[in-house]
Amino acid sequence: MPVTRQPEKPTAIRTHLGAIFVSLELSRSKWLITSLLPGGGEKMSKHMVTAGDVADLLARFAELKRRAEARSGTYLPIIVIQEAGLDGFWIHRLLEAEGIESYVVDPASIATSRRRRRAKTDKIDGEALVRALLAYKRGEPRVCAMLWVPTPKEEDRRRIARERKALTNERTRHINRLKGLLFAQGISGYEPLRRDRRERLEELKTGDGRPLPVHLKRQIGRELDRLELLIDQIKAVEAERDAMLAAEQAVSPAPAMLLALKGIGPEFTAVLCSEGLSRHYDNRRQLAAYAGLAATPWKSGAIDHEQGVSKSGNPKLRTTLVQMAWLWVRHQPRSALTLWFKERVKQNDGRLKKTMIVALARKLLVALWKYVNVGVVIEGAIMTVA
């Protein structure tokens, strides 16, 4: 009986891409290394190392290279993928310094099962990352979203605006706590940010005419100590911000161009330059998507409605743009963007202002991007007097 050749079993995963594909599942205590060697079928190997043990990680990579070379007879590079998380970008930079091709992926962009209860383990997530990396290297469109990793200098520039935001939020909490303590005693109208806050504290009387209780007065004094410390720290951060903008104006005209527009001050300029406009975008859709201001339609059969903005981008940039849009309407009443906003609100009988202000924020971001990069002046915009 003649021997027939059995058909080769099809492989669901193409592993002959000439590389070793590795994913890193990072946690505070352990790092899970999931690897797929060429010619090994669909089986992926797992290896655990202690978190932060870079020497053990690189030793594991060297072992994978040795095994792949023994199997294929050729040298194969390693391609690594990891999720963006608490570890930041230092591991990515370390791998690139070692000559290893590395990618950082947005974990929310990887497709997952839509079951109501789906299994989730580090093993499953590690294999999913490897499959996403394979699809990405094969050139499959929209399989996942790889992050643009900023340089250490670009990453450090963002800290000033973000620290100021954290400090101002903390200042607001202390002010509200102080007002709440006094309001419980029948006292209103006390402003902790005034310079005479301590002198006015001595004059306060409760609603029934008594002086402030001893322990309450001491608690308010300690709250004022913390508040004054925050005020000094905010001033120091703002001084650093202004110095940074002054230094950037010698290299790039963007800060000076933004500051020349009425309604845009140093804080808005610092956020725009460090969070959004410093990056390269191919078109306005990429810009709006990065800020989380891209539209998200829902279309299926006869169903066709808009769900609002995606909110999947940079939250700091998006919040700043919405605040800037409200101020733009106030300080730039004759600009084309403000007139468009007022006309749309008028068409809705004065309703949907919040919805329209988000749309204005998206238009304003695109207009500022064109203004800074190409020099397209915003129609009707008022410039500040030098």
Lowest mean pLDDT among 32-46, 59-73, 238-252: 32-46
Amino acid at site 335: S
Q: Which amino acid is at 79?
A: I
pLDDT confidence of residue 302: 84
Q: How far is the C-alpha of 43 from the C-alpha of 140, rounded, in Å?
A: 22
pTM over 0.85: no
Give pLDDT, residue 15: 46
CATH topology for the 20-138 domain? Nucleotidyltransferase; domain 5 (3.30.420)
Q: What is the mean pLDDT of the chain?
A: 90
Calculate mean pLDDT across residues 323-350. Answer: 94
Distance set, CA 258 to CA 267, 277, 384 (Å): 11, 11, 10
- Please state, in angstroms and rounded to a whole number, the distance separating the CA atoms of residues 146 and 23: 14
What's the pLDDT band for 4 if we cut at 50, 70, 90?
A: very low
Residue pair 224/192 in contact (Cβ under 8 Å)? The answer is yes
3-state SS, residue 43: coil
- What pLDDT band is residue 21 in, cutting at 50, 70 and 90? very high
Is residue 380 within 8 A of residue 332, CB to CB? The reply is yes
Which amino acid is it at 267?
Answer: E
Rounded to whole angstroms, the Cα distance separating 386 from 381 reads 15
User: Is residue 89 very low, low, confident or very high in pLDDT (cuts 50, 70, 90)?
Assistant: very high
Radius of gyration for the chain, computed over Cα atoms and rounded to the nearest angstrom: 28
Q: What is the pLDDT of residues 301-328, one digit of tens each?
A: 888 888 888 888 899 999 999 999 999 9
pLDDT digits (tens, 9 = 90+) for 369-383: 999 999 999 999 999
Answer for the pair 270, 284: CB distance below 8 angstroms, yes or no. Answer: no
pLDDT of residue 39: 72
Residue 378 to residue 386: CA distance in whole angstroms = 19
